[in-house]
Amino acid sequence: MRRRVRHGGDDADVDMTPMLDIVFIMLIFFIVTATFLDETGIDLTQPPPPPNDDPNDSKASAIAVYVDGKNRCSVDGRGAECDRVSLAVEGILADKPGASIILKVHEEADNQYLVGLKDSFDQREWTSKIEIIKG
């Protein structure tokens, strides 16, 4: 009598196959979607302005890199090829060590010059500030 009762209990085991199917499908779905996107990017966020920043003081030792609305580059007022801006800046930095770089980009200039110049300064570990010129 007792044995029969135990036997009935064995038969009443939950069938896990459908649940397993669903769990596997979910698992595969999440594995596939998890590695779907891979993005790279650079940081253009501005460093916070230092306290008591005197604009006249910072201008004295600043190198202005300007990109105008037609994607022409200039360094401290002298025209330069956009690919060669960092060379020009390097030359000026040798004369003015510790000068800060201000990257002035006209709002109609292409994104690639903004990203490219910022990237070339980051590569040489020069800190630079970005300014968007409107007009």
| Residues binding another protein (CB under 8 A) | 16, 20, 23-24, 26-27, 30-31, 33-34, 36-45, 67, 105-116, 119-120, 122-123, 130, 132, 134
Between 26 and 87, CB nearer to another protein: 26
CB of 59 to another protein, least distance (A): 22
CB of 76 to another protein, least distance (A): 20
3-state SS, 56-67, equals HHHHHCEEEEEE
Six-digit token string for 55:
């604009």
Amino acid identity, position 35: T
Pairwise CA distance, residues 134 & 69, whole Å: 10
Amino acid identity, position 91: G
CB of 87 to another protein, least distance (A): 16
CB of 56 to another protein, least distance (A): 25
Between 5 and 60, CB nearer to another protein: 5
Length of the chain: 135
- Residues 6 or more apart whose CB falls under 8 angstroms from that of 36 comprise none
Between 45 and 52, CB nearer to another protein: 45
